[in-house]
Each structure stands twice: as structure tokens, then as C-alpha cells.
Structure 1
């Protein structure tokens, strides 16, 4: 009987270790998601600022775009369209990342709950073993 509970305890501890590793990996992924979202949020702010600046210009103003080490003259309407498309893209990416984050946080919560239940099982098994 003692060896049965010992092997059961070892199995539960191995399962607990696996779940803890999964939770750790998930938390790292959540951290990466936050970093990427932060980067996109900064880019969104920069592009919105550029759009405001472009709106202040007159139709005949010279607009230049930096391509590598060279400034290339660009049409104001084209520059406006490019910046708006970039803002659209960044906004869509932020929405996608937000959805992914919510999904990962849900998985994280369920993993935490299963780890707590597993720890309770182990404690109960150890308490039963201590009584015997």
C-alpha cells in the first residue's frame, strides 16, 4: 500500500512540474506579447503625430521620405495615404495582439487553477501518508 501511494505521489509531482513548466512558458509568451504591443503602441503614436503634421501642410508643400540614406521627394497625398495605411495596419495588429493576450491570460488562469488542485491532491496524499 505504501509503495502505491509513493508512486502516485511521484506521478502527481511529475505532473505538477510539467504544468509549472507550461505555466512558465505561457508567462514568458505573455511578456513577449506585452513587449510587441508596447512597440506597436509607440509606432501608432508616432504615425498619428506624422499624420497631424501632414494635415498642417499646404497642398504645394514639399514632403520628403527617408529611404535608406536618401531623402526622396514624395507627393503630399501619397504620403498621407501611406501614413493612414500604416496606422490601419498597426491598429489591426494591436487588436490581434490584444485577442491573443486575452486567450493566453485565460489559459494562464486555468493552468494556475489546475496547479492549485494538483498541489492540494499532493498535500492530501502526503497528509494521509504521514498519518499512516
Structure 2
């Protein structure tokens, strides 16, 4: 039968792995947003090159629809604002998760140290 110390160590290890998985998923989401931001910045730069009388078309399913330049520019601007806010939010989540991971790592080390020192009763309280 597993000792209370081993059970606690296993639980901490599982939490640590879950936090690492959460961090990886958040980093991937941030990378996707960064790619979308770059795409939209490219579109915005293309809009700047256009003359006022040139036509803009939007792909909707299999059909190209004529779109007003001002509407298109506002849509891209709105996307960029949203994406930037989401990136900022995800960066905060990443920092928070990294802090949790560091705390969990410290807990695991403390439990392992107390187990090696033979202080099992003290480790269970932590």
C-alpha cells in the first residue's frame, strides 16, 4: 500500500503535468493569434497601397462580393484590436500558469526532500 507521502507526491506530480499541458495549450493559442495578427497587418498594409477608386472584394464561401473600402478597413482594424487584446490576455494567463508551475515544482521538491530526510509526518501537513 502506498504511503501518504507517495500519494501526496503523485497528486502533486499530476497537478504539475496538468499545469504544463495547460501552459503548452495557451502558448499554442497565442502563436495562432500572432499568426492571425500578422495576416491582418499584411491586409492592412495592402489597403494602404490601394487608391480610393479601386475595388475591394470579400470572399464569402465560393462567391466574391464587392465591399466598401472603409468597411473593409474597419473590419481589419477591429480584428487587429481584438487579436491584440486576446494576445495580452493570453500572455497574462501564461505568466500566471508559469507561476503556478514554479510553486508546484517547489512543493514537489519539498515533499521529496522531507521523504529523503525521513520527515514523512511533516510533509503530509504541507
Q: Structure 1 stretches (4+) deviating beyond 3 angstroms?
A: none
Larger Rg: 1
* Alignment RMSD: 1.4
TM superposition score normalised by structure 2: 0.91
Task: Select the residue among 122, 128, 132 that pairs with 2:115.
Answer: 122
Give the CA deviation at 1:14: 0.5
1:3: which partner in 2?
none
- Residue 60 of structure 2 corresponds to 67
Unmatched segments (≥5 aa) in structure 1: 1-6, 127-132
Deviations, residues 56-105 of structure 1 (Å, cap 9, x unaligned):
10111100111111111000111000000000000000000000000000
Task: Report how many aligned residue pairs link the two structures.
Answer: 119
| 2:98 corresponds to which of 87, 101, 105 | 105
- Normalising by structure 1, what TM-score? 0.87
Secondary structure of the corresponding residue to residue 40 of structure 2: helix
